Amino acid sequence: MTPDEFLRSIPIGTRVVVRYRLDDGRATDALGHLRARDAEHVVVETKRGPDSVALSTVIAAKEVPPPPPPRVAR
């Protein structure tokens, strides 16, 4: 299954990491919950806000477990 097929098949709300190419050729990741998708893009809700990723730029994608609980202050 290709990364874009994976992103099209999983339920909205799944926590994912999506690696994709930027315009300058470097790769970056979007880590968060899948919030929306259409034929050309997916939207991942990251800590910094929504990140719209063109499926044509996706290199890899996978489901990831929930984040660890916050540390207790001493």
Q: pLDDT tens digit string along 12-23?
A: 999 999 999 999
pLDDT confidence tier of residue 68, bands split at 50, 70 and 90: confident
What's the mean pLDDT in 38-64?
96
pTM here is 0.88
Tell me phi and psi for residue 32, to 5 degrees: 165, -160
Number of domains in the chain: 1
Tell me phi and psi for residue 3, to 5 degrees: -60, -40
Name the one residue in this structure whose structure tokens are 């996978």: 62
Tell me phi and psi for residue 68, to 5 degrees: -65, 155
Q: What is the CATH number for 19?
A: 2.30.30.520
Is 72 among the domain residues?
Answer: no
Could you give the C-alpha distances from 16 to 24, 41, 72, 74, in angstroms and in order? 24, 15, 26, 31
Q: What pLDDT does 55 receive?
A: 96
Name the residue range of residue 43's domain. Answer: 3-63
Is 73 among the domain residues?
Answer: no
Is 68 among the domain residues?
Answer: no
Is 26 among the domain residues?
Answer: yes
What's the mean pLDDT in 52-59?
96
